[in-house]
Structure 1
Amino acid sequence: MKNKISHILILVLLLIGLISCETSYVDIPADDELLDGTIDGLSSSQLSQFLRGDAAVNEVFTRETGLGSTFVGTSCINCHAGDGKGHLFTTLTRFGQVDETGNKFLNQGGPQLQNRALPGFLPEQIPVGATFSKFTPPAFSGLGFLQNVSDTDLLAMQDPNDSDGDGISGTVNWIIIPSYSIPSSTSITKNGKHIGRFGKKASAFDLLHQSVNAYNQDMGITSFFSPIDHYSNLEIDSEVATNKVNDVVFYLNVLKAPIQRNQNDNEVNKGKQLFKQINCTGCHKSELTTGYSPISPLSFKTFSPYTDLLLHDMGAGLDDGYTEGSAKTFEWKTPALWGIGLSENSQGGNYFLMHDGRARSIEEAIIMHGGEAINSKNAFQNLSETDKNALLKFIKSL
């Protein structure tokens, strides 16, 4: 009898264990639900470099490992959780420039505010008289494709005099590049300046430029490329190895592009047609093509970022009185829309859209468009509720 009871108890415990295992099982997210992962076609050595870059992006700096006396974050993932967009708590504050003559507050901490400090130091304050703007950190995914769109293609998309009469112009941001950025043989110059394509104002030339700035300005980490400590203004030894910076740049280059979801959904496809019909594609281009890249899987690829990488007048409502490069204070680079439907995942379950996160929904972001986008905004507002919902569903699928 005791043996029977023991056997029954064992069977009950086994069943409970099986049920527990079954109920605790979590499905692996589909590829189109994730922002991380590599582009296809990388070699084994390239995959190894990607993993080194991934580790570097996740590295947390401390006082002992070079964290600046003043800083914004202690690691890349502080601002780019899951390779995604940042939120209100990770916004950067940029200040001190009002036109293309340059930043007048570089000797007072500009262009970026370091709002945190190690014990014994004081966080920076915005100098009296300096205009400023807040920037939410962008997502990392698909950047290698954007870097490899040719200058020729970018210039071809410009329409500074609105020759087609659609109310949209668009211009590139001509910037002075740092000495460590090496332009390709196809890079186009104008009066010694090159075309920027990264950052809210398209003021960073390439992913190396963007990464070096982030190490120095966000974390106070000096490098071979940028050896000046932003707190003391003195040149000091590198606090991050050059090969580690290069690994991060490679990592950013080969992160896969976001994959559109629900592509066969009828409402999504209707929304896609409406998106084109009201000329959102005048700025948010549905297709771009890369040129040659030394990373061969990025060469000559057509992709769908929904951006033109150009500056556009977005109206007085989005004019913060601050700028970078040759951009006007009311001009902003068209943000890529791919991955926007997943941005809630890295933004704490909420949307924080536009350059500073002021919009809490996609619809609110559309309504905030002005300037060159006013006609498209008005057309959106005149849509029926059914059509609005279809268009919004399409954008969320990106």
Structure 2
Amino acid sequence: MKQWLLFWTVVLGCLSIYSCDSMLPGARPEDQVLDGPVNGLSPENQKRFLLGDAAFNNDVFTASKGLGPIFVSTSCGSCHAGDGKGTPFSTLTRFGQKDQTGNKYLHLGGPQLQNRAIPGYLPEKIPSGATFSKFTPPANTGLGFLELVSDQEILSMADPLDSNGDGVSGVPSYGTLPAFITAATNAVEKDGKYIHRFGKKAAAYNLLHQTVNAYSQDIGISSVFSPKDIYHGQDIDPEISSQTIYDVVFYLQTLKAPTPRNTGNAQVQQGKQTFIDIGCEGCHRQTLKTGNSPIASLSNQTFHPYTDLLLHDVGPELDDGYTEGSATSAEWRTPPLWGLGLSPRSQGGKYFLMHDGRATSVRAAILMHGGEGQRSRDRFENLTSSDQNKLIQFLESL
């Protein structure tokens, strides 16, 4: 009797496991997600990726873990769900610099507004007279590829005097390096400053720079790289280990590039050609190359992000009167377009595009381009409705 009871217990257990597995949703196809590692990582690097993934997405900070005392978010993943774009609820406020002479409000909490606080503290307010802008968190996809584009290639795309007469000038963003950053071996230096490439105004040099700033300014977490407490302005003991920061940097470096969809669709192909014909590729360069990397999957790769990593003046409609680094208030770094069509997955089923999320459709984003983008915008408006839709269909396939 006991043997039969044991037999049926095992059978029912197996059937239960099979039944549950059969009801679980399958993994989404690669072209439907932004997160996940690049192909070909070694077992050791896969482990590093998972450690960074856990720190980025699972570590939620509280007051007992060093949060704040003033802050914007409690974790990295809360602003980048599924490594995608943020929403109006996670949008940051940057304030205090109206020209290239530097931020005059650093002693009053600049450059970032910490709009939340732990109990017993008050969140920051924008100081009287300070200019400010809203920055919606970008997607994290393919950042390691962008980090490995050489300064020489970025400079080859710059045209500060618009020598070819296409209305697009494009300039690199130059900035000073913090003490914890070492310039790359092939870095181009100009008057003691180096080309920066990350952030809405390209104010961060590399992913270590960006990550350290995010922990400090977004979550209020000090590190050996940035030991200053953002509330008191005093150096304090590190609240996060250097190894954890390096793990997160590695995670960001080895996130995969997005996979385009519907590339064989005739309308998508026609839309791509229209994108090129009306001059959009003057800023949104389709193809870039990486340099050497110890990570084989990133080394000497050709990839398609649709950005030139340069600053462009896109006109008064997008001029918030605030700037960072060497950019003017109307200049913004060209955002990569890859992964654009998957943005609604992390944005509540809607689009929130441009630097502050003010455009709620791809069409609206195109029609906000002025300045160096005015010529392409005008050409877009002169297209037939059918051709406009094909171009948008192409953009949403990226």
Q: TM-score range by the shorter chain?
A: over 0.9
Q: In structure 2, give the amino acid aligned to 1:160.
A: P
Q: How does 1:1-398 map to 2 (within 5 A)?
A: 24-58=23-57, 59-398=59-398
Q: Once the 2 structures are TM-superposed, how far is the Cα of residue 98 of structure 1 from its aligned partner?
A: 1.2
Q: Provide Cα deviations, 1:137-172, integer angstroms capped at 9, x if missing partner.
A: 011110000000000000110000000000000000
Q: Once the 2 structures are TM-superposed, how far is the Cα of residue 22 of structure 1 from its aligned partner?
A: 10
**Whole-angstrom CA distance in 2 between matches of 1:309 and 1:394:** 21
**Whole-angstrom CA distance in 1 between matches of 2:180 and 2:92:** 24
**Whole-angstrom CA distance in 2 between matches of 1:70 and 1:21:** 44
**Whole-angstrom CA distance in 2 between matches of 1:181 and 1:299:** 21
Q: In structure 2, give the amino acid aligned to 1:40.
A: N
**Whole-angstrom CA distance in 2 between matches of 1:264 and 1:23:** 32
- The normalised TM-score by structure 2 is 0.94
Q: Once the 2 structures are TM-superposed, how far is the Cα of residue 351 of structure 1 from its aligned partner?
A: 0.2
- The normalised TM-score by structure 1 is 0.94
Q: Once the 2 structures are TM-superposed, how far is the Cα of residue 321 of structure 1 from its aligned partner?
A: 0.6
Q: Once the 2 structures are TM-superposed, how far is the Cα of residue 24 of structure 1 from its aligned partner?
A: 4.4
**Whole-angstrom CA distance in 1 between matches of 2:93 and 2:272:** 35
**Whole-angstrom CA distance in 1 between matches of 2:21 and 2:52:** 36
Q: In structure 1, give the amino acid aligned to 2:30.
A: D
Q: Once the 2 structures are TM-superposed, how far is the Cα of residue 23 of structure 1 from its aligned partner?
A: 9.1
Q: Provide Cα deviations, 1:81-115, integer angstroms capped at 9, x if missing partner.
A: 01110010000000001111110000000000000
CA 22–224 in structure 1, closer or farther in 2 if over 3 Å, else same: closer
**Whole-angstrom CA distance in 2 between matches of 1:176 and 1:208:** 15
Aligned partner of residue 344 in structure 1, secondary structure: helix
Which residue of 2 is the match for residue 3 of structure 1? none
**Whole-angstrom CA distance in 2 between matches of 1:172 and 1:263:** 31
**Whole-angstrom CA distance in 2 between matches of 1:231 and 1:26:** 45
Q: In structure 2, give the amino acid aligned to 1:148.
A: L
Q: Provide Cα deviations, 1:308-348, integer angstroms capped at 9, x if missing partner.
A: 00000010010001111100000000000000100000001
Which residue of 1 is the match for residue 3 of structure 2? none
Aligned partner of residue 93 in structure 1, secondary structure: strand
Q: Percent identity?
A: 58
Q: Once the 2 structures are TM-superposed, how far is the Cα of residue 21 of structure 1 from its aligned partner?
A: 6.8
Aligned partner of residue 211 in structure 2, secondary structure: helix
Q: Once the 2 structures are TM-superposed, how far is the Cα of residue 295 of structure 1 from its aligned partner?
A: 2.3
Q: Once the 2 structures are TM-superposed, how far is the Cα of residue 198 of structure 1 from its aligned partner?
A: 0.2
Paired residues in the alignment total: 384
Aligned partner of residue 90 in structure 1, secondary structure: coil
Which residue of 2 is the match for residue 7 of structure 1? none
RMSD over aligned Cα, in angstroms?
1.7
Q: Provide Cα deviations, 1:217-254, integer angstroms capped at 9, x if missing partner.
A: 00000001000000000100000000000000000000
CA 381–212 in structure 1, closer or farther in 2 if over 3 Å, else same: same
**Whole-angstrom CA distance in 1 between matches of 2:305 and 2:133:** 25
CA 298–23 in structure 1, closer or farther in 2 if over 3 Å, else same: closer
Q: Provide Cα deviations, 1:24-76, integer angstroms capped at 9, x if missing partner.
A: 45332100101111112211111100000001002100000000110000000
Aligned partner of residue 77 in structure 2, secondary structure: helix
**Whole-angstrom CA distance in 2 between matches of 1:187 and 1:271:** 36
Q: Which moved more, 1:272-281 or 1:25-34?
A: 25-34
Aligned partner of residue 134 in structure 2, secondary structure: strand
Aligned partner of residue 320 in structure 2, secondary structure: coil
Q: Once the 2 structures are TM-superposed, how far is the Cα of residue 185 of structure 1 from its aligned partner?
A: 1.1
**Whole-angstrom CA distance in 1 between matches of 2:320 and 2:293:** 36
**Whole-angstrom CA distance in 1 between matches of 2:20 and 2:145:** 42
Aligned partner of residue 194 in structure 1, secondary structure: strand
Gaps of 5+ in 1: 1-16
Runs of 4+ deviating beyond 6 Å: 20-23
Aligned partner of residue 174 in structure 2, secondary structure: strand
**Whole-angstrom CA distance in 2 between matches of 1:214 and 1:297:** 26
**Whole-angstrom CA distance in 2 between matches of 1:139 and 1:303:** 17
Q: Once the 2 structures are TM-superposed, how far is the Cα of residue 299 of structure 1 from its aligned partner?
A: 1.1
**Whole-angstrom CA distance in 2 between matches of 1:26 and 1:258:** 22
